[in-house]
């Protein structure tokens, strides 16, 4: 992977990359170096099972398992074990995509305040499509916290420079998850 040589924006062990994500991380390295900011990529490509695990952990953290005990034995293929607990997370402001496209079971409000009705189909996260990654506000190797706004500054410079064209389409500050989520543009490989 091209980002293997990164010294400033390093990828944590066990994070899975796709060529699309790897290219963006390799391009971002120079901008993090310029800012002298040492950060880590904490999440990249996720499988459906990994997405479900995130949902289960958030449910346990917020004690959603008290209302929906089935979540403790969640199974990807048994939608009824995770659909309602996942929907509860949305109602308490924990915005997390389902492991497969799924109708939200309850009304909920998006972070910008707009109401979403029960039955709205929520699509897969860009992580599952292999197009998105997260830069953490915590550097595990150095054991230091980084202000999310400092990371945003670097991303903005990257986007303003024009280097992000064809690689990164946007970002989202996620204080709840302690990271900056980056949306990539899928690499189009040349076909002859
Ligand atoms: Zn993310």
The per-residue pLDDT for 111 is: 80
- Domain match, 8 and 19 both: yes
Beta bridge partners, 10, equal 40
**Domain limits at 37?**
2-45+127-184
pLDDT digits (tens, 9 = 90+) for 134-146: 999 999 999 999 9
- Entry pTM: 0.90
List, for residues 52-72, the tens digit of each pLDDT value. Answer: 999 999 999 999 999 999 999
* Residue bearing the bigger pLDDT, 171 or 192: 171
Query: Is 118 in the same domain as 138?
Result: no
Q: How much distance in Å is there from the Cα of 127 to the middle of ligand 1?
A: 6
Q: Which residue, 122, 150, 170, sits at the end of a domain? A: 122
Question: Mean per-residue pLDDT for 9-20?
Answer: 96
**Top-confidence residue, 57 or 166:** 57
Same domain, 61 and 96: yes
Instruction: Compute, in angstroms, the gap from residue 77 CA to the centroid of ligand 1.
Output: 23
pLDDT(189) > 80: no
> From the CA of 192, how far away is ligand 1's center (Å)?
34
Q: How many domains does the chain have?
A: 2
Minimum mean pLDDT among 5-14, 17-26, 162-171: which range?
162-171
Q: How far is the CA of 126 from the centre of ligand 1 (A)?
A: 8
Q: Give yes or no for residue 188 having a pLDDT over 90.
A: no
pLDDT digits 0-9 by tens, 111-128: 888 999 999 999 999 999
55 and 116 assigned to the same domain: yes
CA of 46 to the centre of ligand 1 (A): 10
Q: Which residues have C-beta within 8 Å of that of residue 116, sequence separation ≥ 6?
A: 90, 104, 107, 108, 109, 110
Percent of the chain at pLDDT exceeding 70: 98
Q: Is residue 191 part of a domain?
A: no
Determine phi and psi for 47, rounding to 5 degrees. -85, 170
**Mean of the per-residue pLDDT values of the chain:** 95
d(CA 9, CA 102): 34
Q: How far is the CA of 16 from the centre of ligand 1 (A)?
A: 13
Strand 179-184 and strand 132-136: pairing? antiparallel
In a domain, 9, yes or no: yes
Per-residue pLDDT at 42 exceeds 80: yes
Structure tokens of 40?
């880590």
Residue 190 lies in a domain: no
């Amino acid at each position: 992977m091209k980002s293997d040589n990164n010294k400033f924006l390093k990828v944590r062990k066990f994070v899975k990359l796709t060529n699309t994500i790897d290219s963006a991380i390799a391009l971002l390295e120079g901008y993090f170096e310029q800012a002298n900011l040492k950060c880590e990529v904490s999440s990249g490509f996720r499988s459906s099972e990994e997405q479900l695990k995130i949902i289960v952990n958030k449910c346990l953290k917020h004690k959603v398992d008290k209302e929906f005990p089935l979540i403790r034995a969640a199974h990807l293929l048994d939608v009824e074990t995770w659909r309602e607990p996942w929907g509860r997370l949305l109602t308490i402001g924990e915005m997390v995509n389902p492991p497969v496209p799924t109708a939200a079971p309850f009304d909920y409000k998006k972070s910008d305040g707009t109401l979403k009705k029960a039955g709205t189909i929520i699509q897969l996260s860009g992580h599952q499509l292999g197009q998105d990654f997260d830069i953490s506000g915590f550097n595990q190797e150095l054991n230091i916290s980084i202000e999310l706004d400092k990371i945003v500054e670097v991303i903005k410079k990257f986007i303003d420079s024009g280097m992000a064209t064809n690689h990164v389409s946007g970002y989202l500050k996620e204080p709840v998850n302690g990271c900056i989520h980056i949306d990539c543009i899928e690499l189009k490989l040349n076909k002859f």
